[in-house]
Structures are given as structure tokens and as C-alpha cells.
Structure 1
Amino acid sequence: MSSKHHKIRVGISIGDFNGIGPEIILKSLKDKSITDFFTPIIFGSGKLFTYQKNIFKLQTNFNYINSAKEAQGGKINMVNLTKENSNVEFGVPTEESTKMAIDSLEKATQALLDNEIDVIVTAPINKDEMMKYGFAHAGHTGYFEEKAGKKAIMFMVTNNLKVAVSTHHIPVAEIAQNISKEKLKKQITQLSKTLKEDFCVEKPKIAVLGLNPHAGDGGVIGKEEIEIIEPAIKELFNNGTLAFGPYPADSFFQPEKYKAFDAVLAMYHDQGLAPFKTIAYEEGVNYSAGLPFIRTSPDHGVAYDIAGKNQADERSFSEAIFTAIHIFKNREEYHDLMSNRLRPKATHVNNGIDEDLPMENN
């Protein structure tokens, strides 16, 4: 459904309710005018959220529905997954909180696939606990890749800094063997496409970091840069993709360096996320780039240590909501533009009349 004809429907999965998920959701929606901008649809529990909103002294009201199809504009909609009371134990993952996290995610995702919501924003989960109860992925990214049948790129974004990672949640010992020339070419190409379609960057410039200290130091500290990373960058650049590097990671994240590029591709999780979260923790958003649908989340975890203490900062979650909305609109506008550009122009039949001359009256 085009956003030109309705407010964008934002589906929200609640994460582990013994963490800070419900708190940051409630705080992000506390302004009564929030529904002027989009239609929130939470996949959770009315009793659970009523209990938590009282703890945090918030006045949020919900429109209880059985499915996302029943959502109403101008209201905060709650798809009621259970009518039972929830046993909240802040700071401790439990079987109940984990199973509801899985149920919330699955129901919200199905609504996304069924076009009952336009985008999905996911609150933090406990990956280890979810896998104990049958969740087959070490995080959201792999789950959404399976649903889309397509590889995604973990893309951490703010207005001024965008960092993707080539390898996600794998042991450090396995990073080098999971990097290849062809994989990097596909990822950089997808990043360039994402920047154009989802972030309105006309000619994206992408910086690629090296794997080894000092980007291998000419092969002295590893040869991945020479044998894999440099050839991938050179081939793409020669074919018109503005990719540059590889750059030493230890000195790259200085403002005068990273701000010269539209995005950065790091080789592994901590290489990219450690500087990103240092620079942009409060406003950072995790975006699963390259998928046919739009999924964002805050750039932090369940934060059991502060759960229930009214200390959680909702800014990253709020940014995740509005980033998803902006991407949805940008992608629509891009596709409309390309559709109009590719549409053939009407041709005139040559009837011997010069149409630039006025017709004579008979």
C-alpha cells in the first residue's frame, strides 16, 4: 500500500519483556501526537503493557485488536497475543518472556509478509535464550534472511555515519575464512544500491576497511588485503562503483576521514560496531539492508541491568521507528522515479501535418 494514501503502518515486536523492550516502546510512543505521523501496531500483551506503563508512570492508551488488519489510524494498536497475566521478573530471562519474544517476532513478521504492516521495528532479544526454545538463528538478521530468501547486510546508520559489516555473529577465529572477493563485491554493490534507493545518495562513496592491523602493512601482517580486498575494490571501481580502500581500521574513524564517505564496510562485527556505538550510541539504528522489506532496531541489547528502573533511553528505538519510515518513503519515491524514467514516451503518427503550425480554418 502506498504511503501516499495512508499513514505508514509500523509493526513493533516487543523483545524480551524482562529487559527494556516494553519500556523503550512505551517511551517512544508517549507523545500523544505520535499517531499523526504513523500508525503503531505492537505485537504484545495488553495486560503486560498496562502493568509496565504503570511502573513507568506513562499514560499510554491502546486500541486492542486481534490482527494487524484491524489497526486504526490515530491510535496505538495492540495485537493481543495473550489475555493472560504475564509474570514479569525484570533483569532475568525466563521461559515465558523468551517464548513471548519469539511469538511477537513471528507474528509481526507474518503481518509484514502479508502486507498488513509496512515496516517492522524489533525490540532487543536475548539470542541465547531464544535458541534454547527453538529459535534457529543467532540474531534477527539471519531470521529475516531466511524469511526473505536473500542475504542481508547488517547496516548501522545515523545521519552522519553509516557502517556495514561483512561478517556478522561468528567467532573471531572464523572471520578470515568467511571473507572472499566475490562476497565483498556483492556486499559493496548492495551497499551502493541501498544508499541510492533507501538513503537518496546519488553517487555513493564507500570506504572499505582492511582486515589486518595497518591493513596488512603491504603483506607483512597478513595478505587478505592484497589477495582479496584490494582486487574486489579495484574491479568494482573500474566498473563504476565508487569503492575505496582498504583503510587501516585503527585510524579511520576520525571525523575528517569517515565524513568523506557515505558508508563504511568493516570486515567484522566489532571492527565496525565498536567505533559506531562510541560515536553514535544514542541515535544509532540497526538496519537490515538488502531485503525486499524494511526492518530496523535500536543499536543496543536487552539491558537487564537497568530493566524496570525507569533508566532506559528510548532515543535509539525512536530513531529506529523514524528511520524505517524514511526508508520506506525514500524507496517508494525511488521506484516511482525509475518507473517514470523507464516508461516509453508516446509517439505521434506521421499524418503529414506539421503540428507546430496553427491549423487553418476551413
Structure 2
Amino acid sequence: MRDVYVIGAGMIPNGRYAPGSAAEMTRKAGKAALDDAGIDFSQLDAYISASAHPLTPRGVYLAKELGVTGLAVIHIEHASATGLAAMHEAWTAVGSGRYEAALVVGVDCPEREQSVLEVIQGEGHLPPPAMFAMWANRRMHDRGTTMEDLARVAAKNWNYARSNPFAARQAKEEVTIEKVLSARMVAPPLTSMMCTPWGEGAAAAVVCSPEFAEKIGHTGPKVAMRSSHLESETYSPGHIFEGAIVGPPSMSQAAAAAAFEQSGFAPSDVDVVQVHDAFAIEELFYYELLGFCAEGDAEGLLAKGAFGPGSKAAFGLPEFSTHGGLIASGHPGGPTGLAQVHETLRQLREEDRRIGMCHMLGSGSVALAQIYERIAA
């Protein structure tokens, strides 16, 4: 594998009803990523379409919004993990030398199409809020986790979203633990402010080889995609086959360990992390499962202020969900992982951080973990 760069990213605001059709959203997000990279569509070798609510032949249909150039069009679908799965395909294709530059675009309009939730329930599986409420109740039983711990995660992410112009949820005032706890109950112990909102959106990224970046004269800080690992669930005693839409927590642990091994970095090197925090209980688990603290330490560290603003300086631990996470930034589906990439590029470029990590789950079940590094211009 040769080095792989991410030289551009763009998105439109997430929302319950994002502006325009899927085609219009694709055009806006894709154009924003191309402009950020300083290139046009004709310079690309591949277009990778990421939609969690596929309407065949969506990928080709949407690619035409940006140009008709004969390039390869690839459609990726992996439920919530679709965006990062599309980035995984781009990383593999460019890293292997098959393509020099690819545009990855995620777009979904679940409010106007059959939703993943409807599909999950139609196949007889538990809806996600119920599944993750079980995770929460189990941890509360085993670890003594409280609703205040869950609310602390949610409040942190809501407050990060206040400065994110693309976030679906933007509170006018600072969100407190008490406010989160007083919100409508969805699936005990999860209140509505601890759960991601459904919504629509689009996000995109430009992935290329170092040679392509040099050829176009790309300037400024570059971000390299150092690793990407896609992991499915493995069997263990007591394994549940019926209704397990997210797989065991160990799946994320294995994906993260593999991504760190591929990249040569360790958890202590990471400055910022974006995770699949569709429900507050997830982020608590991922502090531990991704290798950032020991099992049982997450709640105590969080209560002291770790994983939020200033965490690296105070605790040597990365900040999590800095764009508001799925809880506040929103979760359109295909664009969600690409919104994480968009935020990671922003953090590594503008906040002068060096190492970022992205993580997503996909029902079915899969987990993805990716490591990004800012390198010298």
C-alpha cells in the first residue's frame, strides 16, 4: 500500500428536512469537497457513492450531477457505517494504485424514503433505541453506571454542536446534565437528548495519491489516511444470531486494535476521536473499547472532565465527538461517517492537532476504525 491523502472535504447542514433533493444535496456537498481540494470533477478516476437507503441505480444517477466523464462509479452500503465503508474502499483503491483520485459522496433522505428503522423492524429485529437501552441497563447493573453519567456524555456533545454550523441540533444556551435528564424518555434509561435524531444530509471527501496531490500543486497541511479496518462480528459462547443488529462490543475493540497496528500509532498518540454515539451509552463503552482507558474507568474520568474540551492537556486523553457526535450533529446514514471525516480534517487543519480517529458501527453487524495524520505541507 502506498500513502493515501485526503485533500478535501465538504458537507451541507444536517437536518430533519435538508434542502433539496438527493441530487441537489450531492451536487452541493461534492462541489464543496472538490473546491476544498482545488480540483474539478474531470480530474477524478472514481466516484464512490455512499447511501444507507439505496435506490438503484443511485450511485450512477448522483454521479451525473457532477459530470459525465466515464469514470468508475462504485456504490457502497453498510447501514450506519456506509460513509466510513466508502472511505475504506477509496483508501484500498487509491492505496493499491488502482486509482489516483476518488470523490466519496454520502447522501441520504430517510424522511422521504423507506427508513432503515422500518426495514429493521420489518425483519423482526429490535429497533436501535431498545437495543442500546439494553446495553445501558446492563452496564448500570454491572458497573454502577448512572443516568447522570449518560447525561454527561450527551451534554458534552450537545455543547460541542453549538459551534458546528452543520449540526442538526444547535442549542442556544449551554446544555446541562439536568436538561438532558428532564427530556422525554425514549427507552429507559435513554432520554431523547441522549439519542441521535433522524435526519437528512450530504457530505463528501476527496481521496488521492501523493503523486496526484503533487501534480495538482496542492498546498497547505496534508492529511494522510494511515489505516482503515473493517471488522464483522465473531462467534463467542452465548452468541445471539436473531435480532443482533449491532454485534458484540468486542467487534469495535478488534477494529480499533487492528487500525492502530496498521498505522503504527497507539491510543496515546490520538488527539481527537469521532465515534458511533447514536446513543450516549455507546460513547461510554468506546472510551474503553477503543483503548483509551481501562475497563471500568470511563465514568470516573468523564466526571472529571476527560474526553471533552482541554482533555488532551489535562488528562492526556483525546476529545471525543467534537462536532457534536451523532447525538447532536445528526445521523443521516450514508453521510454520517463522511461528516466525521469532514470534522477530522477540520480538527487536524484548523485546530493544529496531529492524529485523529473515526469509528462507526453498521447493523448487520460491522465496525470500522480509521486513523488520520496531519503531515507537513
Asked if these proteins are the same fold (TM beyond 0.5), I'd say no
The two structures have a TM-score, normalised by structure 1, of 0.30
Q: TM-score, normalised by structure 2?
A: 0.30
Larger Rg: 1
